Chains A and B, each alone.
Chain A
Amino acid sequence: MSAIPVLPVPPATRPPSALRRLVQPLVTPMVFDYWASRVHPLWRWERPLARVLEKRAESADAVTLVLQANGHWQGFQPGQHVNIGVEIEGARVWRSYSLTNAIGSERLSITVKRIAGGRVSQHLVERVQVGDLLDIGPAFGEMVLPPTAMPSLFLAAGSGITPLMSLVRALDAQGMPAPVTLMYWARTREELCFVAELRALAARHANFQVRFVLTRQAAEAADEASGRIEAAHLAAHEDLAAHCVYACGPSGFTAAAAALVQDRAARFLCEAFTPPPRQDSDTGTVQVELAASGRSLTLRRGMSLLEALEAEGLKPTHGCRMGLCNTCVCGKSAGTTRDLTTGTLHGEPTAALKLCVSSATSDLVLDL
């Protein structure tokens, strides 16, 4: 896989303006946010935030949310993702979504498919209303367009369509400078998103072809096919020597796509949506990545993280060692821990994990 150059990541926060520097000693960001948000819902001192401008059904179980971000959000490139934070029962929960549209620097849209048992997707599909506020993180992801136009093959499965849709729309805006084929897999016709728009684009641009591939229904229309991804689907794309191939979908799909085309394509970029199966357990060891110090350690499960880190020779700041004083808390950006005082599992990222009363049950990424 050859890497595509990525534009430099913008700084996390902009340098404060002269006015902000003047006001800073007098008003804390928290007080400023309280009053500013009463004047305009999106005004904040430094916190990126987005408001829902529009909500429309995209398929039987998916909605598109058009969002207006405030000036603290740094924009994105087509094909990237953002983390969206929603408040559910008082607590903020974050999930990543692909951006499906490029409309200026502060408008964005995400398409969310409802997942059974998925707290955030259900909240966004069922309960979020126009006017609601969502937290938004910086855009990330490397599946962006190459600096100069290349013939491309887009392979999407299920919700893997979303970043590729963003790329297709960006290329549409450029007038389809190079030939593009999109192959889009779904179980049934009802689960396909953006069908009318994609067909209209195919009719408009001679350079753009779309093919819908159904795994649980027979093909009917001329632009439909059926079956799971296999060599026969790609028969028309024997020569990929000048092509950039993008694959996005569940990990089984992207692995199959890689096996079929990775060696033949000039560039191959892929992103898998299904996380690898979690191995929660209270015995054995886990890999713990310490993001701030750039270290990676193998730690024992079943003991507090504080003790496990100390056993490795580290000296994390701590106080009471019994979960009271909040001195040892640190951020956890990935992985599952068990609260040893209550026995409950916590799988969400958090800014405040108590190392002294939490044990690892899966691999972790900590802000240490």
Chain B
Amino acid sequence: MKTRSRALNPEELQRFGEELDALRKRTVATLGERDARYIRRSISAVRWLEVAGRAALFAGAFIHTILIPAWILGVLMLGLAKILENMTVGHNVIHGQYDWMGDPQLQGKTYEWDIVATSEYWRKTHNFRHHTYTNVRGMDDDIGYGLLRIFPEQKWKPFYLLQPPIAVIFCLLFEWGVAIQDLRLGRFLSGKMSFAKLWAQTRPVAKKAGRQVLKDYVIFPLLAGPFFLPVLLGNLAANVMRSIWTYVVIFCGHFTADAETFPKEVLRNESRGHWYLRQLRGSSNISGGRVIDVLTGDLSHQIEHHFFPDVPANRYAEMAVEVRQICKRYGQHYNTGSLFKQFGQVSWRILRHSFPSRPRRKTALVKLPSMPVVDVTPEPMQQPG
């Protein structure tokens, strides 16, 4: 396959970064009323959908003639409430996108989202490691989450032959996977971490998870008395629905066919322009307009989100117009496609790389003046990956 982006020379790289910095500056200068309204309306949608969803589940539990339609409707509304709370509100607020409002309940440093994972660990694994070291092997734990082999650069082990069914289970339990990501169970199992340290790390997660389990699987079902089962199953279905959707969106963000990973060496003295370029090469958008934007909390604009993680996400769609033009001017591929196309590519990667595979040739990010284009991965081209 031919490469879709060209290597930039250092001068171009600097201008590329400056143009994106200027776009950010222009956007930040106009933050105001409408951004505040957007996040408050999103919160209203979360609150009303949750109440309506839980009410529908109770209605179905008590009025047996409408059990099935009410249950389905209840699951959809409750699941949607959880999706919006996590993606539109939680993820974006925790990034500090709305810190400028000065609202004590919308501060990135203190917001606690409605999911088993603690915000505290998320701030570390996601805001810092994933966003700073995006798709850098050995630095960004989101590459396969320490469980899956998505890129040929990851070393193959026979364990990966089981990857397709494991990926499905991981998808259904994704919220739990995210919750334990920072515990680094692998290090404990391989004897690199003491039990005492593991336990100290687990306690806050266990406490948060306990509350979530108590709420969805004990207290709300108990409120339905003898008809607890439809409520319990409805809450379970809504949580799984949220897990599947967040898994799909997140995997589409960095694991599509054209998404690249990078060796640690790229981080040495990395310039702002190079960092931007790495974000672009490692991220992919989902096209689909307003509906997809709302349902993903604007993570459909993964490229813009990685360029500007602290800019309110409701601005990404309009920033994308200019980002595309900038990418085009610098001969960089803007990786976007429908949900089916992008997730199809992700699924193929999961299947393909469960078997041994070797990296193919890629375009370097930077063209050094004295040298021809340098391969990031020197291995010769093999069968298509």
A contacts, CB < 8 Å to B: 25-26, 28-31, 33-35, 47, 85, 87, 89-93, 319-320, 322-327, 329, 341-344, 348, 350-352, 354
Contact = CB atoms under 8 A, between A and B. Distances in A.
Q: Please indicate which of the listed interface residues B24, B94, B99, B112 has the most CB atoms of chain A within 10 Å of its own CB.
A: B99
Nearest to A90: B36
16 contacts: A31-B47, A34-B47, A47-B104, A85-B102, A90-B33, A92-B102, A324-B310, A325-B128, A325-B309, A326-B94, A342-B24, A342-B29, A344-B29, A350-B99, A350-B102, A352-B107
Contacts of B109: 326, 329, 351-352
B283 to A, nearest CB: 14
B295 interface: no
Contacts of A324: 127, 131-132, 309-310
Nearest to A346: B100
B311 to A, nearest CB: 11
A31 B43 CA distance: 9
Nearest to B48: A34
B327 interface: no
Contact of B100 (A35, A47, A91, A341): A91
Nearest to A89: B32
A352 B102 CA distance: 8
Nearest to A318: B128
B128 A342 contact: no
Interface residues of B, number: 44
Contacts of B211: 25
Contacts of A329: 96, 99, 108-109
B28 interface: yes
A340 B272 CA distance: 13
Given A26-B219, A322-B272, A87 B36 contact: yes
A89 B310 CA distance: 19
A61 to B, nearest CB: 26
A341 B25 CA distance: 8
B187 interface: no
Contacts of B31: 90-91
B32 A90 contact: yes
Interface in B91-110: 94-96, 99-105, 107-109
B310 A90 contact: no
B214 interface: yes
B310 A326 contact: yes
B215 interface: yes
B21 interface: yes
B310 A323 contact: yes
B153 interface: no
Nearest to B126: A325
Nearest to A330: B109
B275 interface: yes
Given A28-B112, A90-B35, A326 B127 contact: yes
Contacts of B44: 34
Nearest to A326: B96
Contacts of B36: 87, 90-91
B333 interface: no
Given A25-B214, A34-B43, A35-B47, A341 B24 contact: yes
Contacts of B112: 28
A90 B214 contact: no
A133 to B, nearest CB: 12
Contacts of B137: none
